[in-house]
Structure 1
Amino acid sequence: MVTEHSDIEALTPYARSLGIALERWEDGTPVFSIGFSDIIEGRPAHMHGGATGGLLETAGYAVLRAELDRIGRVASLKPINITVQYLAAGRELTSYARGRITKLGRRSANITVEAWQDDPARPIATAVMNVMMVTENQ
């Protein structure tokens, strides 16, 4: 596991149970991976949609945590909503995901996330996340 920010390593128990791991950093953005296994198999030889959603959510929260860490801001993250678009069935390959912050406000953030397998230009799923950021002063 490659690390740049120590708090990004602290994956949720759900993410750890699926086998999601921090793969690498690309230009300050964490990229996560999940290897295909029986644990994440839905229909035969295909990734379960819940595992895909978990990978997207993990990458989305991680990119937000990394940016908040970079600017020295401490906040609890609370989901407002998450919308996942399933574009193609995940096959028996390793899947990857990375997020991008589209808006970082004082109280909320909007994040887009993409998951892919063999080609980042051909995502298998995308997500839009809206996250509330709660600080001690709010």
Structure 2
Amino acid sequence: MTEGSSLELTAYARSLGIEVEREEDGLPVLAVDFGRNVEGRPGHFHGGATAGLLETAGYAALRTRLLAEGREPQLKPINITVQYLSAGRQKRTFALARITRLGRRNANLTVEAWQDDRTRPIASAVMNILMA
């Protein structure tokens, strides 16, 4: 993302190596390189690391949008559902969230993670977040 961005990722996200790659339509695209910190079975992403990338992308998108509106509520997960679509390989992996509904107290998001081809996601998630 551009210099001077106010988006700071969590310690957990940083420990996995997740970073903000760029912005797209005002929302952050996150990325993580393959390495020991995200490896599950040899040569593949760990499911927890994939879910961590999806969840981090969801919260990053929501925080970005809320800050742009001058809102800073505490975010609490209501429900996060992850679908694993194919194995993540030894490649850089990206994730982008879309806010499908933003209310006063609740937000609904969809998130996708992909590697080479954005039209072929390796995982997706639906997130329902309470804004207290």
* Length-normalised TM-score, structure 1: 0.92
Instruction: Report the equivalent of 2:113.
Output: 115
Instruction: Report the equivalent of 1:28.
Output: 26
Instruction: Report the equivalent of 1:5.
Output: 5
Report which of the two has the higher share of helix: 1
1:1-138 pair list within 5 angstroms: 2-3=2-3, 5-6=5-6, 8=7, 10-134=8-132
Aligned-residue CA RMSD (Å) = 1.1
* Length-normalised TM-score, structure 2: 0.96
* C-alpha distance in structure 2 between counterparts of 1:62 and 1:113, whole Å: 11
4+ long deviations beyond 2 Å: 1-5
**Alpha-carbon spacing, 1:110–1:3, altered in 2? closer, same or farther (3 Å):** farther
Q: CA deviation at 1:3?
A: 4.4
Q: Percent identity?
A: 64
Aligned residues: 132
Cα shift readout 1:79-131 (whole Å, capped 9, x = no counterpart)? 11100000000000000000000010111100000000001110000000000
